[in-house]
Amino acid sequence: MKKIIYTLILLTIPILSNMFINDFNWSLVDFIIMGILIFSCLSFTGFIRKKFSGIKEILAIIIIVIVFILLWAELAVGIFGGPFAGS
């Protein structure tokens, strides 16, 4: 339940930006995809914290964050030129 609340709190930033900044234009699909990404990242991080400890935990969380950022960047501007690029 906490992960859903944290996800919704993080999504209020783009919601407010969408309302007050003219160049910020997210559709409902963008909010759904970002909500899924944030929730997944929080879920994987929680799983990693329960299963690993020490340096393995830190490395696993760093990998999750890097994958999250790369996926987000691909969806936003298409840094890899994939079919899901937003540009």
> What's the pLDDT tens digit per position in 6-59?
999 999 999 999 899 888 888 898 889 889 989 998 888 888 888 888 899 899
Residue 87 pLDDT: 52
DSSP H or E segment with residue 76: helix 55-77
d(CA 57, CA 80) in angstroms, rounded, equals: 28
Residue 85 pLDDT: 65
Longest dimension (CA), the chain: 45
- For residues 82 and 52, which has the higher predicted lDDT (pLDDT)? 52
Tell me the C-alpha to C-alpha distance, in Å, between residue 78 and each of 2, 51, 74, 83: 31, 33, 4, 8
Torsion of CA 2, 17, 24, 21, to 10 degrees: 180
Residue 41 pLDDT: 87
